[in-house]
Every structure is written in C-alpha cells, then in structure tokens.
Amino acid sequence: MAYNDLSAQYQHLKKEIDAGIAAVIEHTQFISGPQVEELEQALCRYTGRRYCVTVSSGTAALLMALMALGIGPGDAVFVPDFTFFATSEAVSLLGAEPVFCDVLADTFNLDPESLRAQVRRAKKAGRLKPRAVIAVDLYGLPADYPAIEAVCREEGLILIEDAAQGFGGELAGRKACGFGKLSCTSFFPAKPLGCYGDGGAVFTDEEPLYRLLCSLRVHGKGADKYENIRLGLNARLDTLQAAVLLPKLAAFDAENETRNRAAALYSSLLAGSAFSPPGVPAGYRSSWAQYTVRAGSEEERAAARSRLEAAEIPTMVYYPVPLHLQKAYAGLGGKAGDCPVAERLCKTVFSLPMHGYLAPEAVRQVAAALLRR
C-alpha cells in the first residue's frame, strides 16, 4: 500500500499532464512561460485572492512574504511550536527571532491563548519588537483565524497564513490561502496540490505588496530583470511545474472529496478506540494533507506503527521534535516544558495513508490492522 499514491493520480491525469509537459517542451519557454500566468490566475479564482505570485518552493514563499513586510533583526515573529522547520527557518534567515507558541491538542493548530500570552511576554521583556504571526494550517485544517485575527488586532501584529499543507481547506466558506495580509502555500509533491518537484505561491489582496513580491521573485528587479532596485531572490516557479499543476488543480476538488470521505471513514472506524482521530470543528473543512491520530503514549505509538509495518502499511510521524527543542534553536534557550501540548504531540502522533485516490477498502484494511491486538 502506498502512503500517498502519486502513481495512481498520474495514471488518472496522464493524458492532461503529458500534454501539458509536451506543450512546454514544444514552445521552450521554460522560465516564466504562459502556463505560469495561467496557473496564477486559476489559483486566484480558486482561493478568492486578488493576486498570486508563484515561486520556487513553499519556503521561498514564506521568506518572500516576510521580506515584503520588512521583517528583520530585532523583530519577533510568533509561530506554532508544532510544525515543519521551514515556518520558523524563514524568520531566522532574515535575522528576526521566532517566538514559539503552543498548539491545541485536538486540531494541532496554533493556540490563540498561548499566542496572546507570548506576545504580552515579549512586549514586557522589551528585547524584541513584536511584528507578525505566522499561523499554520497543519495537516490541511485551517487555523482558528477568527481568534488569531482578534489577537493580531489587539496587539498590532501582521498575520501571515502558512497554508503549505492547507490548500483546499475551508473555514466558514473561506478557502485556505485567503487569510492574513499575505498567505503562502507549497506545491511539494506530497501536498494536496503538488507538482513534480518544488514549488509554491504567495497570495495577497494588496496591489503594492503584489508588485513588491514580483520584484523580489526575480532578484529585486525593476522595469526589467537587468534593473535591480532591491535585493531579492531567484524564486520563480518553472513553467514545467505550472503545466503539471494546471490539470491537477482542475481535478483537485474531486480528489479532495475522496480525501474527506476517507477521513470520515477512518474517524468512524477509530471512534472509541485507543487512537484519537483528528478534530475538525464545526464550520471547518480539511484538505487532509495528512490523516494524523494520537496514541496514548510513545510506547503505544511505536507498537501500533510496528503492527502496521508488519501488515505492509506505511506510516509517518509529523513531527518528532518541537521547534523550540530543535538543535538549530539551542541558542534561544528553549527547554522541555515550554510548550507541553506540542511536546506531547511529538511523542504520540502518527499519520496513516491518505491521498485523493484512497479506496474505502484500503481505509478499512488500515483501521483493521491498527486495531488488531
């Protein structure tokens, strides 16, 4: 059994994907070809955003969003402690300091009360200037934006949505990538909308930010790429990747329905068991980048994963180490107990097979193997 069956997706979309790739090879506009602009317009229509700038990776998207806001040394950017390293890494690369906030045990997303406490603690200490919050849509579920936006208004912070895993999720009818002053996503192959390499996008509703992002994407260009008016990056999305993403975006809603049906079946089969299904609050919809359950302990997780491995069912652990305990951040003085929920999740969560072509029979097979004693 495949954890994320990209081969099944390719076979389903083979004709369209092959034709898209062939068209790029035929016209040879491998950089900034017409498919890139076509994809950006389609992504705007899907998310409801006014502007989209496709880029070379989800990490580049985060970095450019922070650069566009002028984040730098002396600034504090508040991030959830339980997420992939890139969320905080982009902050650190610009000389700013990530401040780690705890998460909610049921949704795995940023805890608004922990955020509020950390912002006020930083203001009281006075060492850093609180500037922004990066809220992550972990595993495909949008964060609690109403509560997070309220904290940002109260404390004078800019909100960035990290929807690297969240594309296709919804909150009260609003699509993921539609929250915050800027939002970012990733097209890494394993994501709900993934290309055949690295890729990403930044979204905004503000034209000045859009024009700044377009400049940053190509070495800080001005009127053309040989006029450089600021420091920027080489962060363009390849035309070939745009050509792969266009048919995948057209098929995305159907695949998302399959993921949601599979998740609902998983949750039904695991209800009342020793493995807690992920929470999806009323009014939310996940795109299920991962279907992640919680075991009762680290030992129970290890035993469950061993049972599944014996049945040739792959699992993954996202993520085994909270950000504040990563070696790269040893200099910030983080210690065990700083973010207890995140630390507990790192020891107990594991993710089951999930993709847009996962059959109900496969879900039942996974659940049966997991619950077998």
List residues with catalytic annotation: 191
Give the helix/strand (H/E) hosting 80: strand 75-80
> Quick check: 318 and 290 in contact, CB under 8 A?
yes
> Quick check: 17 and 244 in contact, CB under 8 A?
yes
* SS3 labels along 1-32: CCCCCHHHHHHHHHHHHHHHHHHHHHHCCCEC
Alpha-carbon distance 240 to 236, whole Å? 12
Q: Is 246 helix (H, G, I), strand (E, B) or coil?
A: helix
Distances (CA, A) of 213 to 117, 182, 200, 234, 319: 32, 10, 13, 12, 30
> Quick check: 321 and 346 in contact, CB under 8 A?
yes
| Cα separation of the two ends of the chain | 21
Hey, CA dihedral for 52, 213, 184, 132, is it positive or negative? negative
Half-sphere CA count of 229, side-chain side, radius 13 A: 10
What is the number of residues in the chain? 373
Tokens in use for 26? 């035929």
Alpha-carbon distance 89 to 1, whole Å? 33
Q: Is 316 helix (H, G, I), strand (E, B) or coil?
A: strand
Residue whose entry in the numeric block shows the structure tokens 């994809």: 39
Backbone angles phi, psi at 12, to 5 degrees: -70, -35
Tokens in use for 137? 């849509």
Alpha-carbon distance 66 to 55, whole Å? 14
